[in-house]
Chain A
Amino acid sequence: MKRLISIFLALSLVTSAMAQKLTFMPQWTPQAQFAGFYMAQEMGFYAQEGLDVEILHIKANSTESILTQLVSGKVQIAGQQLLQSIIARSDGQKILNVMQITQKSGLWCVSHTPVSKPEDLQGMKIGKWKSGYSEFCDMLETYNNLHINWVPFINGINLYVYGAVDATLCYSFSEYIALQLAIGDIPDNQVLKFSDFGYECPEDGLYVTEEYYAQNKDAVDKFVRASKKGWEYARTHKKQTLEVVMRICSENHIVTNRAMQERMLDNYISLQTNPATGKIDFAPVTLSVYNDVTKALLETGYIVNKPEYKEVIR
């Protein structure tokens, strides 16, 4: 019996020692946007795949971008948005999309005054994230012949609440909910949903460097498989998932509330539904969407060379 136990312990040690370490960095500080990854970690789905995953969040005031950290090898897998990733690839950063999380765009604009079309944003002072989306802002101005005074912000909604801006960009699953919880319901006629005007660029995806993928394809596949399992668990165990999200927020000194995270989880899951199939299948970005996005980036001058679809999407 003692011999059997010794063998089992030895095997465990060997397995543990063999578990591949990798660090995953989501796009932002802890919140329900990353609930599927938290649950994959919490429920041991990564460990079951033989992975020793560390989820490392970026600091809100970090000066080092996620892309930089990914390319430098500080993290092996990172959450990124499609636009930025294509630009990075065009700039020579060899990164690959290994999993497309959201299938629809949740990019909205909330104004203090009624807005019904992009032209209504003419001349406004509009808040935008300090990191990212400059390309979108340029596209918006270019294609609609607008002049907008963009005001970058790091976090939150206070520029809008305090009237420092006329409008603010927001995600339907994040800042929009935070606004609702700060000032109450926002009239529909003050919300501009860009997807209604042809902007259908799916946002969040998982990215790795080409080099890392070449050497650790198996580990990446395992990570993706376990992450999908984690998201499925989060969808079906929302109460437990929320507990975990709130705990991680607390551990990271993130000031939030349960209502915020609950609504965020619901909304973010809804963005994962594939419009083509009506299912949550984490399907890769289609060639058609890819071509549309790259075309816009070429026209606005953000890229000069169009990366091939296969170079970016795996």
Chain B
Amino acid sequence: MKRQKSFSTRLSLNILFVTSVLFLLAIGVASLSAHLLIADEAENSAGHLLDATITKIEKSLMEIEAAVQVTAWVADEQKSNKDYLYEMTRAVVEKTDKIQGCAIAFAPYYFEGEYYFSPYSSRDSQTGEIQTIQLGNPSYDYFYMDWFQIPFLSGNPCWSEPYFDEGGGRFYMTTYSYPIKDSEGNVIAVVTADVNIEWIADILESVRPYNSSHVSLVSRSGAYINIDSGSSMIGETVYSTLAYVDDDDDDIDSLVMSMMSGTRGTRKYSRGSNMSFAVFGPLANGWILSISCDYREVLARTSKMQIILIFIALIGLLLIFISCYSIIKKLTRPLVKFSESARQIAKGDFNTVLPEIKSEDEIRQLRDAFDDMQHSLNEYIENLKKTMATNERFSSELNVASRIQMAMLPKDFPKHERFDLCALLKPAKEVGGDLYDFLQKEDKLYFAVGDVSGKGVPASMFMAITRAAFHFLANMGIELDELTGTLNNAVCEGNDTGMFVTMFIGCVDLKTGEFKYCNAGHNPVVVNGEFLDVKPNIALGLFPGFKFQMQTGRLESGAHVILYTDGVTEAERSDKQQFGDSALLDWAKSHAGLATQKEACCNLLDTVHIFTEGNEQNDDITIMTLKIK
């Protein structure tokens, strides 16, 4: 059988469950908020970093641009002094660390008879030695090089695409070109500065916000600038790398298009299952810087925080469970004692000691209620005891009264040669209201059966008076109508309660067989299986002085007389069907030949009982049978 968990355990578990759900919700909301906040913060930070880096690179580029512009101004002034121009290019490289090479390239035939004229100085990347040469020659036709041609055609300075310059610096470079114009605005020469890209790569490497972040600087043609000379990315462009990505990766396509449009922006994108974001923006020279960050790394801190939160929550939940369990256990401990007290009270120990409650709460109220109940029960039981004692005494007295009443009725039935008589009374309550009596005076046999209205002690007392009066009057040997009238007057006297008694009084002359009888409102008697024709008169006790009419008849030898009260004919079964007159007559006809009247009385009583099928008797049953021999 499954063991039922205790109330404190169940309540604690319920609280634990609800608290866990709330904790989970709180952690979920907190994590989501933290994720959004940190992601937003990371995007902002990356944006600030992007702006700062752009500013930093632009500042460095501006130093180079400034150096080149100054060189251009001086070169314009000193263009007739070719040797000075050579010296200038050398000085620029010497004085400016970031500039690896410097050229002052003149347009074709600017100097008469000289198709090429381009003093150029460069620093050897290995030895650091500076070499100065004339750059232009038939195998290095610089007029068609981007660094010359673009500013020459456009008249504007520009930063070239990254390149390997085989004729000059021999390393991966980018070149800043600044055009010198004549008074008419025609470009006569272009001053350049070759810049080793690696210092830019160093700057970009130092600003990577996360280990997995990518910081890329790309040229106008989408070429990567921050790569070293051995990189596999040389020659690749943003769009060529895009070609290696899945065709259906719209996120990346969209990112690259936004980035290359030259606007400042932030975009989220996915690579496989990884979400990332990129911030990007243009430099003044048209290059585009981008910083991309993987959200997994960005949010790694929140993941750690989540683990800590969950750990704290688990400890919190454990503490809550322990606290709840102990508090509830402590609070419900009196209930256990109360249940023990209730068991003791149920066993009848109303004075069992209740647990002491010091707190002023519901448990205290329960204790007080228990206490009140205990007192009330004690009081009730005390009253009950008293009532029971009274009832017991009353019942005892009733029994005595019943015994007295029954003792008043004759128990010994005379054995006579002329008749056999027997009677019985089965009261419905302890003290009944029925009566019977008989008296043999000389050759006359008086007999009577009566029924007092009501039940209990008053009825029994009325019956006792009536029976005693009958016995007395019968003994006087007076006529039956006189006897009945006198008896009526006697019971009427002092009958303030209005009780009455129906009665059949008969007298048979044992010698002659003359039968005189007077009926006072009682049931007609059965003689030889038929109802005797009787005048009803009235019941005794109702009207003093009433003249009762006596009737006469004969009881021949063998006559069988049955007297009874309505307890016989009105005996009911549970279905309210009564024994009735016909059943009585049937019985009388079929049982007239029984050997003794005692046997006849008992048989009739049994017949009635069989008829009622054990239904409770609700009226006294009195039977008297007389057999004339």
Contacts and interface: CB of A to CB of B under 8 A. Distances in A.
Is B one of A's binding partners? yes
Contact of B153 (A61, A159, A182, A183): A159
A182 B239 contact: yes
Main SS at interface, chain B: mixed
A255 B162 CA distance: 10
Q: Give the interface centre of B138, B149, B240 by most chain A CB atoms within 10 Å.
A: B240
Given A162-B150, A259-B243, A63 B237 contact: no
A307 interface: no
A71 to B, nearest CB: 19
Contact of B237 (A151, A152, A181, A263): A181
B232 to A, nearest CB: 10
A61 B221 contact: no
Contact of A184 (B160, B163, B236, B260): B260
Given A130-B144, A255-B164, A164 B153 contact: yes
A15 interface: no
Interface residues of A, number: 35
Q: Give the interface centre of B141, B164, B223, B237 by most chain A CB atoms within 10 Å.
A: B237
A260 interface: yes
A162 to B, nearest CB: 5
Given A158-B221, A162-B154, A181 B144 contact: no
A162 B239 contact: no
Interface string A55-69: 000010111000000
A183 B218 CA distance: 11
Given A182-B221, A182-B222, A255 B153 contact: no
Contacts of A159: 146, 149-150, 153
A238 B133 CA distance: 45
Interface string A135-167: 000000000000000011111111101111100
Contact of B149 (A61, A153, A257): A153
B256 interface: yes
B170 to A, nearest CB: 11
A59 B220 CA distance: 26
A157 B221 contact: yes
A181 to B, nearest CB: 4
Interface in A253-308: 253-260, 262-263
B620 interface: no
B235 interface: yes
Interface in B143-186: 144-146, 149-150, 153-154, 158, 160-161, 163-164, 166-167
Interface string B202-230: 00000000000000000011110000000
Interface in B233-269: 234-237, 239-241, 243-244, 256-257, 260
A125 B149 CA distance: 13
Contacts of B139: 59, 61-63
B260 A181 contact: no
A113 interface: no
B158 A162 contact: yes
A149 to B, nearest CB: 10
Contacts, number: 89
Contacts of B153: 125, 151, 159, 164-165
A145 to B, nearest CB: 25
A195 interface: no
A255 B164 CA distance: 8
A255 B234 contact: yes
A278 B357 CA distance: 107
A180 interface: yes
Interface residues of B, number: 34
A183 to B, nearest CB: 7
Contacts of B140: 61
B240 A158 contact: no
Given A163-B154, A183-B260, A255-B234, A152 B220 contact: no
B187 to A, nearest CB: 11
Interface string B570-584: 000000000000000
A159 B163 CA distance: 15
Nearest to A62: B139
Contacts of A62: 139
Given A163-B154, A180-B239, A181-B239, A158 B161 contact: yes
Contacts of A183: 220-222, 239, 260
Contacts of A156: 146
B221 A161 contact: yes
A255 B144 contact: no
A274 B158 CA distance: 44
B252 to A, nearest CB: 13
Contacts of B260: 183-184
Nearest to A165: B153
Contacts of A164: 149-150, 153-154
A182 B154 CA distance: 20
A161 B262 CA distance: 13
A260 to B, nearest CB: 6
Q: Give the interface centre of A158, A161, A259 by most chain B CB atoms within 10 Å.
A: A158
A263 B240 CA distance: 10
A153 B158 contact: no
B192 to A, nearest CB: 15
B480 to A, nearest CB: 145
A158 B153 CA distance: 12
A184 B243 CA distance: 11
A97 B140 CA distance: 31
A23 B223 CA distance: 35
Contact of B144 (A154, A162, A180): A154
Contacts of B235: 254-257, 260
B150 A257 contact: no
B137 to A, nearest CB: 9
A256 B223 CA distance: 10
Contact of A61 (B141, B220, B241): B141
B222 A181 contact: yes
Contact of A259 (B223, B234, B240): B240
A111 B38 CA distance: 45
A154 B147 CA distance: 12
Interface in A234-250: none
Contacts of B144: 61, 130, 152-155
A256 to B, nearest CB: 5
A195 B327 CA distance: 93
A130 to B, nearest CB: 6
Contacts of B149: 151, 153, 159, 164
A257 B223 CA distance: 11
Contacts of A157: 221
24 contacts: A59-B139, A61-B139, A61-B141, A62-B139, A130-B144, A156-B146, A157-B221, A158-B160, A161-B220, A161-B221, A164-B149, A180-B239, A181-B237, A181-B240, A182-B223, A182-B239, A184-B239, A184-B257, A253-B164, A254-B235, A255-B163, A257-B240, A259-B241, A259-B243
Leading 6 A-B pairs by shortest Cβ distance: A259-B243, A182-B221, A259-B240, A164-B153, A63-B138, A257-B240
Given A61-B141, A154-B144, A257-B237, 19 more contacts: A59-B139, A61-B140, A62-B139, A63-B141, A161-B221, A164-B153, A164-B154, A181-B243, A182-B222, A182-B239, A183-B220, A183-B222, A255-B163, A255-B234, A255-B235, A259-B239, A259-B241, A259-B244, A260-B240
